Amino acid sequence: MKLSDFDFTLPENLIAVRPASPRSSARMLVANGVDILDRFACDLPDYLQPGDRLVLNDTKVIPARLSGTRDRSGAQGDTRAKIEVTLLEPQSDGTWSALVKPLKKVTDGEAIVFSTDLSAQVESRAEGQARLRFNLTGDDFDAALAEVGAMPLPPYIAAKREADARDKHDYQTCWARHAGAVAAPTASLHFDAPLLDALRARGVVFTFVTLHVGAGTFLPVKVDDVSQHKMHAEWGQVSATAAAEINATKAAGHRVIPVGTTALRLIESAATDEGIAPWEAPTDIFITPGFRFRVADGLITNFHLPRSTLMMLVSAFMGVDRVRAIYDHAIAKQYRFFSYGDASLLLPNRPASATFTTAV
């Protein structure tokens, strides 16, 4: 398939720069069978059944954007440069890979100072990125980062406004637990305590998995033949408990519905024809039309960028023509798009994914 198969024109005014408040007051498009319905996130319990299992990504976004300075003394005297850093991923040797702007203003061995408590040494530079070693580790590092870091808002929001104190709450799920993401699992941002209580009262059950969303989620697809695109890898974990819960739900004939494309990608990475096995590894699964879903019976997600891998994923899940109709409807009805935008509940008009009869 061609990249142009996943393109559409989005009016600029439909890009959300702030979330709905309260969270569950966001609008929600329901694509159920052949119907497209206009509802709200708080209506979600009306479309789920007792025994349905929502799979939730409990990754926690770190305040990964930092502003610092680099100082030098030389023949021209003392000079100072402002340096912007976006943390990408911790490395096994204790360093962080990071985007550094402007990269040409730093050299290996130099220090970038972010506050009186936090600084980092540039250990190496390659392929437009740097490896940074911070002066703090563990809880001390987390506390200093929380003090001076800003949330890494997606580029389409950051181009319209700077991150502020509100984003440290708004760009974090209410069940965030395991720090490591530099982008939020944004479908989960529509859930708040009243909605979770209503879902429990309905008999809906929950399973938590972890996928640390990386900055690569925002990278554009640069090839016209989408089969040639290489996905970025993201670390994920499906615990033995989570796998057993999902397998039991499938064996009982109930639906498994991931909240967000990150949760969907992770559970499909861990799936076999017999069930889900515990998983702890990076995944670079690339879901395009023709993919056979083994686990997901529905999907709660936001509205995605044109020509993106996430548009390919929802097209694989619902069908290319069906997604075109859904997005045409969403644009006509003025739904808000992207990370802080509105939600959709996608229930495909096809047989449910496999019912597992044996535990893995």
- Domains and their CATH numbers in the chain: 3-61+169-347 (3.40.1780.10), 65-148 (2.40.10.240)
Return the pLDDT at 204: 98
Return the pLDDT at 358: 45
CA angle at residue 291 from 33 to 226, to 5 degrees?
Answer: 115
For residues 159 and 157, what is the distance between their CA atoms, to the nearest angstrom?
5
CB within 8 A of 257, min separation 6: which ones?
48, 52, 53, 54, 55, 296, 297, 298, 299, 300
Q: Do 171 and 184 form a contact (C-beta atoms < 8 A)?
A: yes
Return the pLDDT at 215: 78
The arithmetic mean of pLDDT across residues 107-112, rounded, is 96
Q: Do 86 and 102 form a contact (C-beta atoms < 8 A)?
A: no
Matching residue, tokens 């929950």: 206
Q: Is the pLDDT of residue 224 over 80?
A: yes
Query: Comparing C-alpha atoms, which of 222, 165, 211 is closest to residue 187?
Result: 211
Return the pLDDT at 230: 87
Q: Is the pLDDT of residue 354 over 60?
A: no
Q: What percent of the chain has pLDDT over 70?
A: 97
pTM beyond 0.85: the answer is yes
Query: Comparing C-alpha atoms, which of 262, 340, 279, 345 is closest to residue 49?
Result: 345
For residues 171 and 160, what is the distance between their CA atoms, to the nearest angstrom?
16
pLDDT by residue (tens digit) across 261-289? Answer: 999 999 999 999 889 999 999 999 999 99
- HEC secondary structure over 32-43: ECCEEEEEEHHH
Least confident of 9-18, 39-48, 315-324, 346-355: 346-355
Specify the amino acid at residue 39: R
Neighbours of 213 (CB within 10 A): 24
